[in-house]
């Protein structure tokens, strides 16, 4: 496509975008949604590099100490080490939750933006709900992250700290906004006379959009097949091993066989690693596929040259394949595969950032042109 054709296509896009006015719900949810996904992914990468492995090592060390305490017949030390495991797991759990919730809210924002034309609410109500949603979607992950650090300090409650209270408030804001949007969608579905939605965005099929959609569907399908394979081949074997290895460690401790405890602990570490990488690969490939499908629908709003849009789509798909495959190979190739997985994550982040900038350029051009 030549640049003049590209410009006229973009101009046609501006004329269509009645749902994309300055500070409209569609624009807020699209920009906010991509920003949430970006921040969630960057946080996930930082967490993977600086926290995840160190934390897993600490959990493993505490479990190992508990097993050796059992070997030495020291019940008090066993309990103490399990308390340490609990603290390490809480630290890890809150960080995983921050990463997961931020990205999930980003996906939800993109979907709400796409469903906008079918939501029978006034533009003002949609805009206010978009702000409520984004405030909640930001508040919840930040406060979940703080739970481990704030603890119960100055809390009026015995078991729940201030960070948890504000995280719940964030969740409530998101729920209120989503339920309100759903009511609007229901109103549209059950209306006696339905007007056709004014945006024809999902029907727009640019080459980059087609590439992202077909690639995304392929990734999700690959994830489904991998999940089916995991359930059929690994799931029950892993569950049986989990029990038998723990029993082996405990029998070794009871019979005071240090060698049995040691080999059991090594096998247990291997098993947990094998489980973690397979589940991570399954969930990441599906999530990236879904992200790619969602972004396919927004390509008309990415104000970049079609050639660059295609390049960024390819970069996103390449990263989306590289990360799960390298995660799967981590047990065999260690840090090399881990490093390549991080590069895959970085490619997705860079491509997403480029598309976000493209959308920002679009909104800038839209506002300068005075359309809608």
Partner 1 sequence: MSGARQLLLAGGIALAVWGMGYGLWYAVFAEHQALEQIGASLATGFGGAAERNSALSEGAFQQYRQAKYVYDRQVDVHGHWIGLAVVLIVLGIGLDRLAFSERIKMILSVSALLGSFLFPLGVLLQTLDRGNGPRALTVLGSALVIGAFGTFALGIARKSACAPQ
Residues in touch with partner 1 (CB under 8 A): 66-67, 69-75, 78-79, 82, 86, 107, 111, 114-115, 118, 182, 185, 189, 194, 202-203, 205, 207, 210-211, 213-214, 217-218, 220-221, 224-225, 227-228, 231, 239, 242-243, 246-247, 249-251, 253-254, 286, 290, 293-294, 296-297
The beta-strand segments (E) located in 222-344 are none
- Distance of alpha carbon 290 from alpha carbon 110, whole angstroms: 11
Calculate helix-pair angle for 306-333, 258-298, nearest 10 degrees.
170
CB burial string 114-135: b at 16+ within 10 A, e below: bbbbebbbeeeebbebbebbbb
Q: How far is the CB of 320 from partner 1 (least distance, A)?
A: 15
Q: How far is the CB of 233 from partner 1 (least distance, A)?
A: 14
| Of residues 15 and 239, the one with the C-beta less far from partner 1 | 239
- Distance of alpha carbon 128 from alpha carbon 24, whole angstroms: 9
What is the number of residues in the chain? 372
Q: How far is the CB of 55 from partner 1 (least distance, A)?
A: 17
Q: How far is the CB of 10 from partner 1 (least distance, A)?
A: 18
| Of residues 207 and 269, the one with the C-beta less far from partner 1 | 207
Dihedral sign for Cα atoms in the order 155, 160, 164, 170:
negative
Tokens 């305490």 locate to: 69
| Of residues 35 and 110, the one with the C-beta less far from partner 1 | 110
* Residue from 27, 38, 28, 290 nearest 133 by CA: 28
- Distance of alpha carbon 36 from alpha carbon 170, whole angstroms: 14
| Of residues 102 and 340, the one with the C-beta less far from partner 1 | 102
Q: How far is the CB of 364 from partner 1 (least distance, A)?
A: 26
| Of residues 92 and 338, the one with the C-beta less far from partner 1 | 92
Q: How far is the CB of 265 from partner 1 (least distance, A)?
A: 12
**DSSP collapsed to 3 states, 178-244:** HHHHHHHHHHHHHCCCCCCCCCCHHHCCCHHHHHHHHHHHHHHHHHHHHHHHHHHHHHHHHHHHHHH
Q: How far is the CB of 67 from partner 1 (least distance, A)?
A: 7
| Of residues 124 and 270, the one with the C-beta less far from partner 1 | 270
- Distance of alpha carbon 192 from alpha carbon 176, whole angstroms: 26
User: How many CB atoms within 10 Å of residue 98?
Assistant: 24
């Amino acid at each position: 496509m030549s640049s003049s054709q590209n410009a006229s296509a973009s101009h046609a896009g501006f004329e269509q975008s009645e749902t994309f006015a300055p500070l409209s719900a569609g624009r807020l949810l699209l920009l906010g949604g991509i920003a949430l996904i970006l921040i969630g992914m960057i946080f996930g990468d930082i967490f993977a590099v600086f926290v995840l492995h160190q934390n897993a090592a600490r959990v493993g060390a505490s479990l190992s100490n508990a097993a050796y305490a059992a070997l030495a017949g020291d019940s008090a030390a066993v309990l103490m080490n399990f308390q340490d495991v609990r603290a390490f797991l809480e630290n890890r759990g809150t960080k995983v939750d921050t990463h997961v919730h931020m990205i999930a809210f980003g996906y939800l924002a993109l979907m709400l933006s796409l469903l906008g034309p079918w939501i029978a609410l006034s533009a003002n109500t949609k805009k206010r709900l978009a702000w409520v949603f984004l405030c909640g979607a930001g508040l919840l992950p930040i406060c979940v992250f703080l739970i481990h650090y704030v603890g119960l300090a100055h809390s009026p409650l015995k078991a729940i700290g201030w960070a948890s209270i504000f995280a719940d408030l964030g969740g409530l804001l998101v729920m209120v906004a989503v339920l309100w949007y759903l009511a609007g969608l229901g109103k549209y579905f059950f209306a006696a006379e339905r007007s056709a939605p004014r945006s024809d965005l999902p029907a727009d099929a640019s080459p980059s959009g087609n590439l992202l959609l077909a690639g995304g569907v392929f990734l999700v399908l690959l994830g489904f097949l991998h999940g089916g394979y995991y359930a059929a081949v690994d799931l029950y074997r892993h569950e049986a091993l989990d029990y038998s290895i723990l029993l082996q460690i405990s029998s070794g401790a009871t019979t005071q066989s240090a060698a049995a405890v040691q080999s059991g602990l090594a096998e247990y570490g291997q098993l947990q690693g094998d489980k973690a990488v397979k589940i991570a690969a399954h969930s990441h490939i599906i999530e990236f596929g879904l992200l790619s499908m969602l972004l396919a629908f927004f390509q008309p709003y990415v104000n970049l040259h079609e050639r660059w849009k295609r390049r960024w789509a390819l970069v996103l798909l390449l990263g989306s394949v590289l990360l799960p495959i390298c995660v799967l190979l981590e047990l065999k190739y260690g840090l090399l595969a881990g490093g390549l997985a991080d590069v895959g994550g970085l490619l997705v982040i860079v491509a997403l950032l480029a598309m976000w900038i493209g959308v920002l350029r679009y909104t800038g051009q839209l506002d300068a042109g005075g359309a809608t």
